[in-house]
Amino acid sequence: MTRKCEDWLQSYLEYTESSESPEDFHIWCGISLIGATLGRRVFLDKGYYLLRPNLFIVLIAESAVSRKSTAIIIASDLMRQALPEENYISQAITPQYLIHILAGRYRKEGDSTGYAIADEFGFLLGTVKNDLQLLELLIKTYDCSEHLDYGTVSRGKETADKSCLSILAGTTPDGLMEVLPNRAVGGGFLSRVIFVPRGRGWRRTAFPELTKRQQEVYSDLMKDLVEIRQREGPYTLTPKAKEWYTAWYESVFTPDEDTASLKGYFGRKHDTLLKVGMCIAASRRVELVVEEHDLEDALGLMNENEKHLVGVMEKVQTTPTGDKNMRVMGVISRKKEISYTDLLRRVSYFLSARDLREILDSLVGGGMVEEEVKGKVILYRPKKGLGV
């Protein structure tokens, strides 16, 4: 089967350009689709382990702000139309349910692959808060464990060997903090997730319409997903790509030690880069070869996304006191500029005037908020260039 799209991801952006969702939401959804389609069938040999292109990607934005659900629905519909027989997971996951679904796939197909898609991350992982066993299973399926089994009361031990799970979901910053237990924050699960956060703003289109060209592109995208699904074998880096990656990893790449909230993410960035690089390579050519510019483009996407990550990850890892600070910061950020009187009125349902004063002193002292006195009015505004 021949390819229809010269660059699948670019064609996907052409198809989605009339939607209201931000382009970067669409590009990461497209990368997720390719990674899930390739699944376990391809790999990059890292010596002591094999690296697969599956990814956990979560879009983050305030509710009804950046059309994250729209981006996920577009991606999900395309995938389901092109590959209806894939092992889709779209309901709340428990350890028992996940292992049952993957084990059923293993008995039928000889591998335990799956694609979990949901526009609400909290719904998908509803039991995580009280069940760390689910996090352990998710980590194993992200790492594509060769051997995976789990004992259940009703069905005994179920085997789901040759595992490989991809996740595409969305959530709000508050929703992310609510779904994850505190014990998971410093663990391995968060380090395996690419969070894609964006703030307010989208392309407003009252009645989006697909052009004839976009309809043709949609058909080509589906046909190419079917072709991508058939690829199998080891990925290799060209000599220039291997030289570039070696130089970046050994001489350029330095995890940001000043950003404690992203230590786990940076600790795995070198492997995540190769995963994204494989997806970009699969978008551009049938051959299982990663070229230098594939890795450069993957790094560019990740670096750009990292500019927006710190604020979100700090919120997820915050303490109850820190949560109140972030809620006050959220009000100030949304208003751009707000008086003390107006701010107190908006937060008085969970803060006293004394508590608010202490939080404002902390935010101003920490360089997150600017304070200005105009006559008898005290104004607060977010420090320029901060966070999401």
According to the CATH classification, is domain 318-382 in 1.10.3720.10?
Answer: no
Highest average pLDDT, of 96-100, 130-134, 180-184, 324-328, comes from 96-100
Q: How far apart are CA 33 and CA 60, in angstroms?
A: 18
Q: Say if residues 124 and 118 touch (Cβ distance below 8 Å).
A: yes
Equal fold, 8-308 vs 318-382: no
Confidence band of 387 (pLDDT split at 50, 70, 90): very low
Q: Residues near 166 by Cβ (< 8 Å), separated by ≥ 6?
A: 32, 35, 36, 39, 54, 55, 56, 114, 115, 116
CA-wise closest residue to 168 among 54, 83, 262, 7: 54
Residue with the larger pLDDT of the pair 312 and 11: 11
- pLDDT tens-place string over residues 213-269: 999 999 999 999 999 999 999 999 999 999 999 999 998 888 655 566 678 889 899
Q: Residues near 287 by Cβ (< 8 Å), separated by ≥ 6?
A: none
Mean pLDDT is lowest, of 165-169, 186-190, 272-276, 303-307, for 186-190
pLDDT over threshold 80, residue 299: yes
- pLDDT tens-place string over residues 137-196: 999 999 999 999 887 656 678 899 999 999 999 998 777 767 766 555 556 888 899 999
Mean pLDDT is lowest, of 135-139, 161-165, 322-326, 353-357, for 322-326
- pLDDT tens-place string over residues 89-122: 988 888 889 999 999 999 999 999 999 999 888 8
- pLDDT tens-place string over residues 114-127: 999 998 888 887 75
According to the CATH classification, is domain 8-308 in 3.30.70.60?
Answer: no
Percent of the chain with pLDDT over 70: 86
At 388 the pLDDT is: 38
The domain spans of the chain are 8-308, 318-382
At 386 the pLDDT is: 47
